[in-house]
Structure 1
């Protein structure tokens, strides 16, 4: 969760986190401050002083729905009620940089002189270095440079072929540029103001990350004017007016999270990044779920996501990246550590569910839009994805999608991908080959949806019949192998020996969404998800609270995720549990109202009846893509015949 002393500005794959005055101090930890582009911090110091002291903040930096923030401060010292000067700062993030205008106004009736200084630096730290995980990465032969310019300073970083720059310019140019003991540079201006006069400084920071093309001001946005237009034409039930506000904020958040990407034919596109600060990049699972949620509102976003993921689909086997032919990518990174393979995430395929989600979205896009052109264009990619599920994912061998922990990457590769998240009720982690229940639901829906494409778009009835038969077989096996008869609930997973993992988890809501459960069991599961040990009043806990494994501040073993609860709401609607779906939707919207309608990635699992305000999860991304898209999923769950899928017989 963004700390109270940070203001966040994000746009076009670039973001800045600044303090109340607009300063950047070089913090690390849960929320580092700085200017970031392509996984690197391009500005680590940006600190303004007036007459040698730090100004006193009157109005802290606050961002609206755009990428601009304003703050007001006064010089330190003197009488607090009659400061000699007032400093007005306006900061704007743009693709690849930051612009700032500083206006200094005199409050006196006689001429005034002041010395302004701005300390600047760029440490080019990789985001993986800045995480508070206590890891240290060797960076041999790395060289940092600082070169004076007539109007500012240029910072450089080189490590072998890796080269990045940050250029800081000012108008008017500084009177002097000084070195500091830390290696930063201090730009100084002597300002002379007439009585009640004012003057302005214009500052510009341009980040030049390694391998990045220059920003294209005319790059198209697939979702059109994504951040405008209220609810994008999606009808809102009359008795849910706050849903319109949540949708409007969600569109604004999604607009700022769009990042540039490339389609199969080299076309320039924009797709939703997962979230800020750690995931301002394409994560396959997140982009796919976000696009499924917003499909009725912005089908162009789904089309862009499908094209970009098709362009990055694996064609060869690469065990280091968990890549296999036909698999859909989990994560793309552009930073230094990924480039030198010190982290595996440059193009990383450690997700068992991105591939079936790709097929789900492709089928849903054709069904929702009535347009099969994209499905025909991506037929080869879709068939390769199906082939991966059978030949590499595990469907042909053991009847299920499976994964093994990746020692250098992700231990878990379903949506709950944190260490220890796939566990028994007593908290014991599952070892060996893992068969996550949620992935089987996605596989079932993927087979069904792709069978529909085969019949209508590809004119291949035999292939459609094969996929339908495979889906029915998977559904029957799942009912046999995953059901916990003593709990009347599905297991979270199967372990390496095929034993049921007995933790009761919110993943069951995903099974409702995909329709893999029969009607009787599905309705029983849906009602169980509204029991007090699951439902907090804000949403559904990721793990039921009556189990030893539960922790209210655990990322995947107790927190409430709005998107996870929205998936459950869609599933509840699919199984005809309208009252339950509305109860979950109401809790999520109350959470939205309590967080200024910007839904966070997750909140703590504490019950609402004992804690009337939601308790933040301390490391939550915000804005975050599938949280921003959640209100649109709710519009579908609340419609009489919504996007919740066909009713289950």
Structure 2
């Protein structure tokens, strides 16, 4: 994912501007915090952000005259708390001999809730003497827009006002060029011995064997005085809210697979962390730090990955996007009537139109995916009331596909940015170098991407199916349109000599014959014939695509192949999951379980949290996958990948209209002998499905069935 205002080149180049792999993220709603493993903010890619503005850019703790020694740090499994355990270096003499290193335990524990950071510093003296402990914090608030933090230069900025303090708290103010005054406040539970507008100094008397707590809060509004009561009450509220999000929908457990369960738990917790409860319903934000906002494509795919377990995400995504559907033409926003939003931002630069992303529509695939998800949601839930509510939006989306999405009248959805400020490539592989001919040349526009035609095929079919249920007379025409798209793709994208599909057609209608993972998305939509799907699967499972850690975005040996690139040879878990689900659509099961096992192995090396992407180097025994330094972590569609792949491996499809769950030839990855799906709900009915390996087969045993629900097993 790239909105055109960040460096997305090779991993080596990105590392020069500072990697994100050691940063720790917390989030609640539109506020998120990114800090280093000590818990410090240093004004790089880190900070406390509220609505795309950095309201705390520096916050560095020192003990004595030095940074403390780190013992350990990390984010809790439920993603609520960050904790750093540190100890002191030798303290300077304070009226006597200095305290030696390692006698103090200093714990930083924090969470984000209700637009503010809550932090507790707990200082414990394990020495044999009382200690005078000098503790200091250097801080600042630059009110930088998130695009500035990512490297976009601004010719002018607003006015930063002199901070004020009242002996216990410091208030920062900034008036933007958009005439909006933004404030933040940093407050301490104890008045510092010395407080300036950028530094707080404390001197604590810490008896041996005793502990002291210092509470700190920072938020976008005026600070109350921090204390233990506020800490506890807000910590409980934050944890309960996260628990509610994690427990939505069905759950998955492998009874004797603690590491596999840890992956499932971490992935579910990451989805919960990134999901914001908006007035329209839950919406999975794309990822931290750069994409902690609603994205159209990412939200749709993340919701689709979770659809079989938790349809509420799809409902929230569809409702939110419908309300932001474009109604007029804007070249700056890449907007046209009926088009579905690509991205929205809330910062100063977006408000001033210095960047087009306040409400931006430059995604060629999002509108088709929106319609296709509506069809999938209806089949999963039977919720025709929502479909009736969204019907005008769905029809408007198909009218965009017909009137604007196909700019040259050849029957295919294409793109070409309307303004230089927009994205040059507008599919999911949206970096500047991701679409090219076999010899590496960049194509002229408008460009018709392979996978987008698959999404369009799925969208027309969804409209035909929904139209029949709603007795809309256009249903038959929509079905014919889907078949026309299928035939065009098979005729114009298929390369017989390669037994594969071209990645795109250029503006002259010539195929871009690069061999990419985009074809896996086409399988996901069910467009190819069975014979061609088999050929595509064979290549995707071959050594040119398979790294041993998943499927590469570009086949090895292709022009522009680089395993350290953003889109041209790296491994994206969500991309792999869609390809795997596509193979399962055509009856492949063993390979699906094999790839799921590879992604599981990769997750094990990333502390059970899959990043946005990682490098596509070949797997070697005894070595782990190589990280991409500026990958977002966590990322919603990376976290959702395990759930879509498990659905594919287990062969589960759900039809709420017939109240049927079909389980077709289930399989499990090596080492996983049992798996239970609990509280799988279809309408008012529910069931648990217990899968167990018996010999060379995996069998399913329905349990705790409630209500009218059929379970059909096939081989």
Please confirm whether the aligned pair reaches a TM-score higher than 0.5, indicating the same fold.
yes
Query: Quick one: distance in 2 between partners of 1:61 and 1:343?
Result: 34
- 2:395 alignment counterpart: 383
Query: What displacement does 1:55 show?
Result: 2.1
CA offsets 1:527-562 (integer angstroms, 9 cap, x no match) = 111110011111111110021221111111110111
Query: Quick one: distance in 2 between partners of 1:420 and 1:413?
Result: 12
Q: Aligned pair 1:270/2:286, yes or no?
A: no
CA offsets 1:324-367 (integer angstroms, 9 cap, x no match) = 11110000001111111111110000011100111111111110
Q: Aligned pair 1:10/2:24, yes or no?
A: no
Q: Aligned pair 1:412/2:425, yes or no?
A: yes
- 2:293 alignment counterpart: 281
The counterpart of 2:188, out of the listed 151, 162, 170, is 170
Deviates more, 1:579-588 or 1:617-626: 579-588
Q: What's the secondary structure of 1:290's corresponding residue?
A: helix
Query: Quick one: distance in 2 between partners of 1:372 and 1:284?
Result: 22
Give the superposed CA RMSD: 2.7
CA offsets 1:94-123 (integer angstroms, 9 cap, x no match) = 231111111222334444323222111111
Q: Aligned pair 1:197/2:186, yes or no?
A: no
Query: What displacement does 1:513 show?
Result: 0.6
Query: What displacement does 1:403 show?
Result: 0.4
Query: Quick one: distance in 1 between partners of 2:516 and 2:524?
Result: 15
Change (3 A) 1:290 1:128: same
CA offsets 1:296-336 (integer angstroms, 9 cap, x no match) = 11101110111100111111111110111111000000111
Query: Quick one: distance in 1 between partners of 2:204 and 2:243?
Result: 44
Paired residues of 2:69 and 2:86 also in contact (CA < 8 A): yes
Change (3 A) 1:91 1:378: same
- 1:118 alignment counterpart: 137
The counterpart of 1:553, out of the listed 559, 564, 570, is 564
Change (3 A) 1:53 1:447: same
Query: Quick one: distance in 2 between partners of 1:244 and 1:90?
Result: 26
Q: Aligned pair 1:146/2:163, yes or no?
A: yes
- 2:457 alignment counterpart: 444
Change (3 A) 1:139 1:63: farther
Q: What's the secondary structure of 2:156's corresponding residue?
A: coil
Query: What displacement does 1:424 show?
Result: 1.5
In structure 1, stretches of 5+ residues that fail to align are 180-184, 210-214, 264-268
CA offsets 1:410-442 (integer angstroms, 9 cap, x no match) = 111111111010111222222221011110000
- 1:212 alignment counterpart: none
Query: Quick one: distance in 2 between partners of 1:271 and 1:311?
Result: 13
Paired residues of 2:90 and 2:101 also in contact (CA < 8 A): no
Deviates more, 1:32-41 or 1:347-356: 32-41
Change (3 A) 1:484 1:359: same
- 2:577 alignment counterpart: 566
Q: Aligned pair 1:22/2:39, yes or no?
A: yes
CA offsets 1:353-390 (integer angstroms, 9 cap, x no match) = 10011111111111011221111111111111111100
Paired residues of 1:7 and 1:63 also in contact (CA < 8 A): no
The counterpart of 2:612, out of the listed 590, 598, 601, is 601
- 1:455 alignment counterpart: 468
The counterpart of 1:511, out of the listed 508, 519, 522, is 522
Q: What's the secondary structure of 2:41's corresponding residue?
A: coil
Deviates more, 1:36-45 or 1:193-202: 193-202
- 1:633 alignment counterpart: 644
- 2:537 alignment counterpart: 526
Change (3 A) 1:249 1:111: closer
CA offsets 1:153-200 (integer angstroms, 9 cap, x no match) = 001111241221110111122232125xxxxx1112222233433322
CA offsets 1:56-102 (integer angstroms, 9 cap, x no match) = 22334554433212222233325896545332221112231111111
> How do 1:8-407 residues align onto structure 2 when only pairs under 5 Å count?
8-27=25-44, 32-77=45-90, 83-132=102-151, 135-160=152-177, 161-179=179-197, 185-208=198-221, 225-228=244-247, 232-234=249-251, 244-263=261-280, 269-394=281-406, 397-405=409-417, 406-407=419-420
- 1:266 alignment counterpart: none
Query: Quick one: distance in 1 between partners of 2:300 and 2:355?
Result: 24
Deviates more, 1:241-250 or 1:432-441: 241-250
Q: What's the secondary structure of 1:392's corresponding residue?
A: helix
Query: Quick one: distance in 2 between partners of 1:338 and 1:378?
Result: 28
Instruction: Report the number of matched residues.
Output: 621
CA offsets 1:470-510 (integer angstroms, 9 cap, x no match) = 00111111111111121111110000100010000000001
Paired residues of 1:242 and 1:589 also in contact (CA < 8 A): no
Query: What displacement does 1:239 show?
Result: 9.9
Change (3 A) 1:445 1:395: farther
Query: Quick one: distance in 1 between partners of 2:237 and 2:558?
Result: 53
Q: What's the secondary structure of 1:321's corresponding residue?
A: coil
Change (3 A) 1:374 1:244: farther
Paired residues of 2:21 and 2:629 also in contact (CA < 8 A): no
Change (3 A) 1:347 1:94: same
Paired residues of 1:41 and 1:124 also in contact (CA < 8 A): yes
Change (3 A) 1:379 1:62: closer
In structure 2, stretches of 5+ residues that fail to align are 1-10, 12-18, 92-97, 223-233, 656-661, 665-715
